[in-house]
């Protein structure tokens, strides 16, 4: 039987928070030097059964975080190589540089291929710091979305998510001033969105969860009638979010050669910028 993730794998002896949907879903044990055996949950899947890219990233980053001597991932970049499926997987980690202010590690999320041999699903490189070691002293020139209070917004996802193969939509709840065009079957042509995000079970997002949040929402190219599959995603994790729902803005500004970028920014309930991501994705 697998035990909850951080009980088994945290080398510093401190019990990091195991809270919320994502934390509790990522059971794992450390089975060797830097190697973690993970049971990937089927509760974070897309229509076709593949796992959401943000979930993969967050799970691999959690495993890597237990190996790196500084606590807070501040930047993580991931290449998506093959579909990840629910079931057994491993995360193979390597600490490549441990400095005083920054430490960097890599992680490979691997699963068995059709021939049974292990193959890379995701490659991740991340740099860690100790955010508590320096005062925040923020200078913030970003502008959070102006949204009505979450309680006054139209809610979708969570218990309202349509039943079907995609399970990831049930894990979170969005609040929007009005239902997006693509949800109503009328794509707006404007590839941008502003919305509240919360986990459906009411738990607060942690710094590590933000690596999921930035890829948790539907791609805004849906407003152009296009689907999307992430090829590469880089996320900056800048601050531990205050408790409460998150404000998010998603924008795509460039499509060419069958590829598009998508930027996501996330602010916490206190209005602090907590994450910025950019991905390059294949247009489907």
Query: Among 236, 248, 241, which residue's Cα sits nearest to residue 272?
Result: 241
Question: How many residues can be counted in the chain?
Answer: 284
Instruction: Classify residue 213 by burial, with Cβ atoms within 10 Å: 0-12, 13-18, 19+.
Output: buried
Buried/exposed code over 73-84 (b: 16+ C-beta within 10 A; e: otherwise):
bbbbbbebeeeb
Rounded CA gap, 136 and 118, in Å?
42
114 lies in the binding site for a second copy (CB under 8 A) = no
Query: What is the nearest approach in angstroms of a second copy to the Cβ of residue 186?
Result: 19
**CB under 8 A: which stretch of 10-18, 56-64, 210-218, 257-265 binds a second copy?**
257-265
CA distance 90 to 32: 11
- How far apart CA 188 and CA 27 sit, in angstroms, is 40
Q: Which stretch binds a second copy (CB under 8 A): 30-38, 48-56, 202-210, 252-260?
A: 252-260
Q: What are residue 137's phi and psi, to 5 degrees?
A: 40, 55
- 79 contacts a second copy (rule: CB under 8 A): yes
- Indicate the residue among 200 and 242 with the shorter CB distance to a second copy: 242
Q: Is 238 in the site for a second copy (CB under 8 A)?
A: yes
Q: In whole angstroms, how close is the CB of 253 to a second copy at the nearest point? A: 4
Which contiguous run of DSSP H or E holds residue 266? strand 259-267
CB of 77 to a second copy, least distance (A): 4
Interface with a second copy, residue 101, by CB under 8 A: yes
8 Å CB contact between 108 and 79:
no
Rule CB under 8 A: say whether 176 interacts with a second copy: no
| Closer residue to a second copy in complex, CB, 108/173 | 108
What residues does 89 pair with on adjacent strands?
A: 38
Among 2, 96, 165, 284, binds a second copy (CB under 8 A): 96
Site residues for a second copy, 134-163, by CB under 8 A, read 134-142
Report if residue 222 touches a second copy, rule: CB under 8 A. Answer: no
Taking the least distance from each CB to a second copy, the nearer of 1 and 141 is 141
Query: Whose Cβ is closer to a second copy: residue 97's or residue 184's?
Result: 97
Cβ proximity to a second copy: between 27 and 279 the closer is 279
Q: Hey, which residues between 7 and 36 contact a second copy (CB under 8 A)?
A: none
Is 125 one of the binding residues for a second copy (CB under 8 A)? yes
* Three-point CA angle 104, 230, 103, nearest 5°: 5
Give residue 120's Cα distance to chain centre: 19
Stretch that binds a second copy, among 39-47, 55-63, 203-211, 255-263 (CB under 8 A): 255-263
Q: How far apart are CA 183 and CA 189, in angstroms?
A: 13
Instruction: Rule CB under 8 A: say whether 102 interacts with a second copy.
Output: yes
């Amino acid at each position: 039987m697998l035990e909850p993730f951080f009980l088994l794998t945290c080398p510093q002896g401190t019990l990091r928070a195991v809270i919320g949907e994502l934390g509790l879903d990522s059971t794992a044990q450390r089975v060797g030097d830097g190697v973690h055996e993970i049971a990937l949950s089927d509760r974070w899947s897309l229509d076709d059964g593949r796992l959401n890219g943000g979930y993969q990233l967050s799970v691999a980053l959690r495993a890597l975080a237990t190996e790196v001597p500084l606590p807070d991932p501040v930047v993580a970049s991931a290449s998506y190589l093959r579909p990840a499926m629910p079931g057994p997987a491993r995360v193979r980690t390597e600490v490549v540089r441990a400095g005083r202010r920054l430490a960097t590690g890599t992680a490979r999320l691997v699963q068995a291929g059709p021939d049974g041999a292990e193959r890379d699903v995701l490659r991740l490189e991340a740099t860690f710091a100790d955010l508590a070691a320096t005062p925040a002293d923020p200078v913030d020139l970003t502008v959070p979305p102006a949204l009505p209070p979450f309680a006054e917004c139209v809610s979708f996802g969570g218990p309202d998510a349509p039943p079907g193969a995609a399970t990831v939509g049930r894990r979170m709840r969005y609040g929007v001033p009005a239902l997006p065009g693509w949800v109503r079957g009328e794509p707006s042509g404007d590839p941008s969105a502003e919305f509240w995000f919360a986990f459906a079970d009411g738990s607060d997002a942690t710094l590590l969860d933000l690596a999921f949040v930035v890829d948790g929402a539907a791609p805004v190219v849906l407003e152009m009638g296009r689907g999307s599959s992430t090829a590469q995603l880089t996320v900056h994790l800048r601050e531990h979010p205050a408790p409460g729902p998150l404000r998010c803005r998603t924008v795509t500004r460039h499509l060419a050669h069958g590829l598009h970028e998508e930027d996501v920014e996330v602010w916490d309930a206190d209005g602090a910028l907590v994450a910025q991501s950019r991905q390059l994705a294949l247009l489907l």
